[in-house]
A and B are shown apart, each in its own frame.
Chain A
């Protein structure tokens, strides 16, 4: 098997190759694309997708799905705002952070309980949550944007620690922790075992239910973490917080190579795909090709189709998937 084929056999490498190709093309047009600032901006814009994808990768590896993350991020952002804003409850930042983490974890747990013990398919549970949480958020906001976040809260989104923006640090910790969990701990191995064959895993004495409960709860918790570092980046919290996030995260995870039937997929793949899809828009701006504005979504969709087509062509002569 040629090296090229080996590369494309792993979707991670395919996505990485596509990303490099895009960077090369855009940089040829405008070298500013490769500037440190742009690099940072692209990473910062990917932070919420990256953080949530760490949890969602586990959920999808287990053969389940969670599409409530966008609404949950919006709701937790609004709760953070209402608790800490100087126009509202004026609580210290610690209270806000704690409340948001508890809320996110709780919603994740409820998702998990309904899926595991209520035996409701996860797409229905989280579709219901997606709708209900968004509704709750609109009612909580009462038609007004939340402003005047105290500096201590804004610091979570805009501050830096030893020169690195806090959101990036938090994302790095989450990624390192999740990847470590997946690769080096028994829990991680169980996740993949249960995902690739739940019945065999059950027979081998693994608690598939417990693992699913963990994956959903962890995703809820991470969604709250993502809200903490992304909502305060902007000065106003409004009803667009978390909009379309579920679509971006699910797309990133599946484009990144996580199999929807469970058992296969890495966090690295999800992250690369998140960066690739997230920077298409930036790339188009740098290409200064203004007619492309209206074709942006078509290009994004085309990228995904191209990725799977390449994947398929590489596989056809290789091993069976």
Chain B
């Protein structure tokens, strides 16, 4: 049993080592106010990483989430421009996200195309539609209503996301199903599991999360534009795999993703705080490979 969570233990050790180092070198970095302010940066990425974990658990991937964020932001911005009430605008953004995710799900489950290929296509397509609809322009000046969505609301939404995902994985039969699909989809199908329905819902959920993230982003920066979320898909995949979820599916947990997110976030902020921006990439790249290697030496085998 100890072996099973070797990876999470390794991540915690790395996180504590980093924070201990920070404690000695930059005491101010660990102050509650500092940490809280810096965490604001994390929530959008954190939100899309949770459905991403579930998708990767089934052996899939969603590379289109970042672009879906841009699409949702543009839908919200343009409906706001037409004078729709703010709540409706946000709702439309969520619907757009859900539809975008369902489109991915449709191609993956009905047309039976590999998720990587489908979401590579929609990575371009969603961003393209967002650019086309908005003509590259931004919509600004969201009303006070959206202020309600600022800190600490995103943190609460994230905790709710994690709680639901954890409940689903641990308590509901769905968790076993997801892992079964990830380990062997064919046998999961033959066992009568609703593979397609489950996958379709997961991709739709991923789109929905992108919608929520887009609304939060727009609330935070008071602007909606087609380039929102650019590159977020790779960051999310990084957080998920750093958190110990097997890219081949079957193994992993949202708790690992939470740790992965925290480790990435603290590393990035600390490198910026203590050194300088250009070292972030190298440190994160090495960290990613090291954490998995470390996991190997701790003996958590994965074929």
- Can you name the residue of chain A whose Cβ is closest to the Cβ of B293? A118
Cβ of A129 < 8 Å from any Cβ of B?
A: yes
Contacts of B248 in A (CB 8 A): 121
Q: How many residues of B contact A (CB 8 A)?
A: 47
Indicate if the CB atoms of A294 and B114 lie closer than 8 Å: no
Cβ of A305 < 8 Å from any Cβ of B?
A: yes
Could you tell me the dominant secondary structure of chain B's interface residues? helix
Flag the segment in B84-92, B150-158, B166-174, B233-241 that touches A: B233-241
Q: Given A131-B281, A301-B125, answer yes or no on A124-B131 (Cβ-Cβ < 8 Å).
A: no
Q: How many residues of A contact B (CB 8 A)?
A: 44
Q: Which among B238, B288, B293, B302 has the greatest number of chain A C-beta atoms within 10 A? A: B288
CA distance A123 to B248 in the complex (A): 10
Contacts of B281 in A (CB 8 A): 131-132, 134-135, 138
- CB under 8 Å from chain B, chain A span 132-174: 132-136, 138-139
CA distance A118 to B297 in the complex (A): 9
Indicate if the CB atoms of B125 and A120 lie closer than 8 Å: no
Of the A-B pairs whose beta carbons lie under 8 Å apart in the complex, a sample of 16, sorted by A's number, is: A114-B293, A121-B241, A121-B246, A121-B248, A123-B237, A124-B247, A128-B287, A131-B285, A135-B280, A138-B278, A250-B120, A297-B125, A300-B124, A301-B127, A302-B121, A308-B118
Could you tell me the dominant secondary structure of chain A's interface residues? helix
Cβ of A119 < 8 Å from any Cβ of B?
A: yes
| Chain B window 197-223, contacts with chain A (Cβ cutoff 8 Å), 1 for yes, 0 for no | 000000000000000000000000000
Indicate if the CB atoms of A294 and B136 lie closer than 8 Å: yes
Indicate if the CB atoms of B131 and A123 lie closer than 8 Å: no
Mark B residues whose CB is within 8 Å of A.
Answer: 107, 111-114, 116-118, 120-129, 131-132, 134-136, 234, 237-238, 241, 246-248, 278-289, 292-293, 296, 301-302
Indicate if the CB atoms of A261 and B247 lie closer than 8 Å: no
CA distance A129 to B279 in the complex (A): 14
CA distance A304 to B119 in the complex (A): 10
Choose among A120, A127, A294, A311 the residue that contacts B296 (Cβ–Cβ < 8 A).
A120
